Chain A
Amino acid sequence: MRTEYYFRHGAGGNFSHDSLLRSCVAVSNMEERERVSETDRKETASNPELERDADPNVEEEGEDAETLDVCSEHFNPLRALYAPAAPPLPFPNIKCFNNVSDYESFLKGGRGRAKPENVEKKRRKAMKGVADPERIERLKKLMVNNPVAESEEGESSSSSQPRRRRKQKPLRNVLTRMPLCKGSPLGELYRCVQERIRVKVHIRTFKGLRGVCSGFVVAFDKFWNLAMVDVDETYREPLLGEAIYHEKALTVSRLFEKLRLQEDPGAAEVGEKQEKAGEPKETPEDRSDRPAESRGGGRTAEPGQSESAADKRDEGNVSQARRKYGKVHTRHINQLFVRGENVILINPQPL
């Protein structure tokens, strides 16, 4: 009884004074006090409940639950706020917010706005402990004595630890530079490399066209140096001396025309007509006249020059079987490297 008394007065502020007087009170007293306070609280708690139960009796029965039910139409928020216990929630583990704007910013993604980099950071943080297969593959490649490692990496991974740190710089060599050209004419050439499109490469002589190389490009660089395979070269060695001034510039069509005429002397007349028709101006044309003349000989003759004429007739002079001067030749080369300086243009062949 005495303890009860003290408790009630303790609420009023005299507690400290009393506790000094009762400082020598045994622990059991304090325990009792606590036990009493518990029962006290229960008593006080039960009172409003009784009151509460009394209230709805005034109102209609059955509405009580509805007014406190958050999901119902008759939910009374003011009532729920003053209710001693929290209203029953359909989702007990629900996140609690302090106000509406709190809820709004939560919807938008937490502390900052949901920028893509923040989202990415969050995702990565969440995935921190989880093993990333891509990362594992990368690390595997750098490992020594790993059969998976490629030749390049394998050779350079003798001390992989410092290498890995240094390897931040992207690798740049002729092969990596090939795809970088996208968007430029060399990018178009790279497309031909990738799609294995046959190309015609026009090769130059000191002045004008030498011939055409038809093949597949395997690799190239910024100087237009080409590595080609399966090359068919059609070319004519440049004329010497006076001939250069007298003859019409060699073009691709003329080149192949000459080749055709060489191979098939009978077609010379037809060819000549075609050529004449194709050309608007009627300049004294050595080249086109000669095929008609040399029909029997089967070779494109030269404009009259003593030196070349002598060379032509005098085949026994040179040790090997000499190629006739001014002829168009064809040859096949399996793998060829072309220096870029000699390239006039590259023509991907129609698909």
Chain B
Amino acid sequence: MEKSGSVDSVESLCSSTTTRSDRSSGTRVSDTELRSKGRAIEKVLQCKYTSKGELPLLPEELVQDSAKDVTYICPFVGPVRGSLTVTNYRLFFRCTDREPVFGLDLPLGVLSRVEKIGAATSRGDVSYGLACKDMRNLRFVHKEPEDSLKKSVFEVLMKFAFPVSNNMSLFAFEYKQVFPENGWRVYDPLAEYKRQGLPKESWRISKVNDHYELCDSYPAALVVPVTITDEELRRISSFRAKGRIPVLSWIHPESQAAVVRASQPMVGQNGRRCKEDEKLLQAIMDANAQSHKIFIFDARPSVNAAANKMKGGGYESEDAYQNAELVFLDIHNIHVMRESQRKLKEVVYPNIEDSHWLSNLESTHWLEHIKLILAGALRIADKVESGKTSVVVHCSDGWDRTPQLTSLALIMLDSHYRTIRGFQILLEKEWLSFGHRFQQRVGHGDKNHTDADRSPIFLQFIDCVWQMTRQFPAAFEFNEYFLITILDQLYSCLFGTFLCNSEQQRLKEEVPKHTVSLWSFVNSQLEEFVNPLYVHYPSHVLFPTVGIRHLQLWVTYYIRWNPRMRPQEPVHQRYKELLAKRAELQKRVEELQREAANRTASSSSERAGSPTRSITPVQTFV
């Protein structure tokens, strides 16, 4: 890597980039290229770019427009002048009047809103505000082109930032990078259920949803008790919201207690019942010989669950479902979570208020929501592990709070999901195949930023996982960078993984055929994402402490744009250094051992050749 930056900060960042790239250099040059671009949303300009002054492009990435004399109003240092380039994938700003040289490089997918603020000033300057999905707001000032026919670079930006609203395709469909690994093959439902050790005598894989006729937001492969016929499943589907019937997520390898997910029952105000549904829950309970009870975890606050009866929904009555116990987990809906995230953004960006930081943070309720989600998952995991009881988890539609809870409980229960590939399978299964509405919740390429369907549900889940990695630093194979990469690529629209709302839609759009999976990228350079402290214990169940005292704001994610951010993970770095040192020492010791062995061998043969010498014990060092 060329070095041109004269300033320390740039050099240090470059050198750390170098070490990262070097590891895979030679074999996968293109990955390295990609990594330096794809992972970063905003970063210090790489030296090689600044020296040549040109923007490196991804395959199929095309420059759409660029403008000089744009001013970026940096909240940390004030206005910075430079040039702005817009491609079909990214926004690239490079300052020209500053040392050290710095810039912004962000995928357009991260933008949720691009707006002209106010009218032009007397000098013809126009302000643009860019709100981002990753907790930032950016602001630029630019002179309007005098020729009114010519479009401003920001108008071009608006067009490419929201391709879906402009009838264009997302960049993921253009991007044609080839990786050694194929991430679309990470998850095979049948293999996964086999891994879980699904007992054939009590559970079966039903093909009733093969063509998504039973439920268009569910996967094709569904696991149900053997005693329930497909016909009964069809009847149940009309009783469960959106046809999302109770199906198995996970089964305990020893007790056979099951984690089952569903949507709310359509009880309504009249207390409608469905005998097949009741039979199904009974069958789930019977499939586990260890317990004569079943727990139904309704993720919602009980008030919300009751209010849903007005709209035809509701919750299971304990009269209708014998041996079932219903527990409400008090987790709020997507609208409350969106509001909490909005408040959080105000508190963390751009600057942190010194004197009231903690109470400001408290007033966002963000950690409180995180706590409730983790606490709910903990209760589920505890019922399954300690109580050996099967559980059914649902919320309203069973695609937001339900996957949060089931996937967190599964991480606690099954160490496989704490590995890098296991975690990918978990996401593919609980989130993607079971139809978390990523398109709606994130709003990929959609300019309608006020859409009430947007909500940081998946972000909360990743935050919860991060909280667990803090409490158990040696229990997860992946590091923090892995989690941040997932979140960054959730918004970037570079990969196809998080596109669409369901398995059916992804098949229809032929997403796997036309896009690259995020896991292709990740699994082609796993070492980047490995937690060096990881210890694998196969049967270790994690019970995190959910008290607010042990939850902390994920500053390395939410406050990462603040230039005063503290560099993270010195422990990991140091551990890697120690590992290298150990390897070196081991090598050296082995060499010496070999030398000593040779010396001993040769000296003893000498002695053998001189019979006059008395036989003395040979001193060995080993």
Q: Does chain A bind chain B?
A: no
